[in-house]
Amino acid sequence: MNLTLKIWRQKDAKSKGGFETFKVEDVSPDTSFLEMLDILNNDLIHEGKEPIVFDHDCREGICGMCSLHINGFAHGPDTEITTCQLHMRKFKDGDTITIEPWRSSAFPVIKDLAVDRSAFDKILQAGGFVSVNTGGVPDANSIPIPKKDADESMDAAACIGCGACVATCKNGSAMLFVAARVSSLAKLPQGKVEGARRAKAMVAKMDELGFGSCTNTQACESQCPKLISISHIARLNREFLKAKFRD
């Protein structure tokens, strides 16, 4: 496959960026998208040019680091996958592919396609801890949890914090991410002790960091690689309102 790549280049968050055009040739359809970028970078290095900066880590769809906007889609045109799981067979020979970083004021550009997502870490830190007994390992059945609650909690916990929801949302909202984190604990007895404080603190930190508000367009759910449901946003709203009423 021979492809034309329009890639966003930007020195840092304060510099003005722009698209640069590159050509890659003889790429196998079985090559992953990140391997294709590796091939391009290898060519650029051999030509004495600066390679493209992009985030990646596990390359197994687990860590969420490979945050790229490809042809207008978070993680690319495939569904239920991260960028590292996208393969070139999803494109056609001769295609022009536009590659951008996540677009959000809360995710400033570090360089080229890499963005600073430490805002998510700050939201998690605001959520704090859970109160559990320390000591020996408790019996697995010592705290019975209904299967429906356990399933909902695990569905929410599947969030990998990649930021696709923020990049996709027209408002740059982090509600799906925050909702998944709150919901994964709200359905479990271990998360109820600090539940009210957690919901208030995480929402407050999200607002402080400049994320937008949610208007329920479902764009976040449609491009989430783990298909986290927006029903968790409804649970976050309930947890937040209950906490405020208690106050």
31 and 125 co-located in one domain: no
- Nearest residue to 122 (alpha-carbon basis) of 182, 192, 178: 178
SS3 content of the chain, % helix, strand, coil (to 5): 40, 15, 50
* In a domain? residue 73: yes
What are residue 69's DSSP bridge partners? 74, 100
Residues 153 and 208 in one domain: yes
Tell me, yes or no, whether 184 and 67 share the same domain.
Answer: no
- Please tell me the distance from the alpha carbon of residue 86 to that of residue 126, in angstroms, as a whole number: 33
**pLDDT score, position 20:** 98
Is 137 a member of any domain?
A: no
Write the CATH number for 96: 3.10.20.30
User: What span, in angstroms and rounded, lies between the C-alpha atoms of 60 and 81?
Assistant: 10
Q: Are 174 and 217 in a shared domain?
A: yes
Contact 178, 202 (CB under 8 A): yes
Range of the domain at 208: 118-131+144-246
Same domain for 123 and 74: no
Q: Which two tokens stand for residue 213?
A: 């508000």
CB 5 within 8 A of CB 95: no
The pTM is what? 0.91
220: domain CATH number is: 1.10.1060.10
Do 153 and 237 lie in one domain? The reply is: yes
In-domain check, residue 208: yes
pLDDT at position 81, please?
Answer: 95
Q: 126 and 96: one domain?
A: no
Q: List the Cα angle 204/210/212 in 5-degree steps.
A: 90
**Number of alpha carbons in the 13 Å side-chain half-sphere of residue 132:** 14
What pLDDT does 22 receive? 98
pLDDT (0 to 100) of residue 246? 85
> Does 126 lie in the same domain as 241?
yes
Secondary structure of residue 176 in the 3-state scheme:
helix
pLDDT at 137: 67
Residue with tokens 């705290």: 143
Instruction: Say whether both 127 and 91 belong to one domain.
Output: no
Regarding whether 75 and 28 lie in a shared domain, the answer is yes
In 3D space, the residue among 165, 158, 162 whose CA is nearest the CA of residue 181 turns out to be 158
Cβ distance 97 to 8 under 8 Å?
no
Residue 226 to residues 24, 73, 75, Cα–Cα distance (Å):
30, 15, 12
Residue 206 phi, psi (nearest 5): -60, -45
**Parallel/antiparallel/unpaired status of strands 114-115 and 109-111:** antiparallel
What is d(CA 187, CA 148) in angstroms, rounded to the nearest whole number? Answer: 9
Q: What confidence score (pLDDT) does residue 134 get?
A: 66
pLDDT string in tens for the chain (247-residue length): 999 999 999 999 999 999 999 999 999 999 999 999 999 999 999 999 999 999 999 999 999 999 999 999 999 999 999 999 999 999 999 999 999 999 999 999 999 999 999 999 999 999 988 877 666 766 766 778 899 999 999 999 999 999 999 999 999 999 999 999 999 999 888 888 899 999 999 999 999 999 999 999 999 999 999 999 999 999 999 999 999 998 8
On whether both 84 and 204 belong to a single domain, the answer is no
What backbone phi and psi angles, to 5 degrees, belong to 40? -60, -45
Domain presence at residue 126: yes
Number of domains in the chain: 2
Cα–Cα distances (Å) from 27 to 32, 34, 113, in that order, read 10, 12, 21
Residues 93 and 17 in one domain: yes
